[in-house]
Amino acid sequence: MDNQSEIRDMVKNMASGKSVDVKKQFDSVMQTRAADALNDYKSELAKSVFRNPELASMGLADGEEHIVDASAIGQDTIDSLSQAGPTGGNNENV
């Protein structure tokens, strides 16, 4: 049922005095509109987050093309990263 027919049915129920049906239909219409608006907002927000030129200029990945293949990393790189510890380096004065 499209939005216009839902509203027509709601108005008919209002004229007939069926307040319970009117409330259910109103809640349904508002839930649909709110969900659509929220989905649109999420879509626009995701576009701005993942296509952010400021993040791209800092070299931060904005897509799968930037994902590094773990098998391409040499064992010496893995060993040096594991020795770095939780602070990211051996220099504790940073």
Give 6-70 as a 3 state SS string.
HHHHHHHHHHHCCHHHHHHHHHHHHHHHHHHHHHHHHHHHHHHHHCCHHHHHCCCCCCHHHCCCH
| The predicted structure's pLDDT at residue 20 | 92
Low-confidence ranges of the chain (pLDDT < 70): 1, 50, 52, 55-56, 60-94
Q: Domain extents for the chain?
A: 23-48
pTM above 0.75, yes or no: no
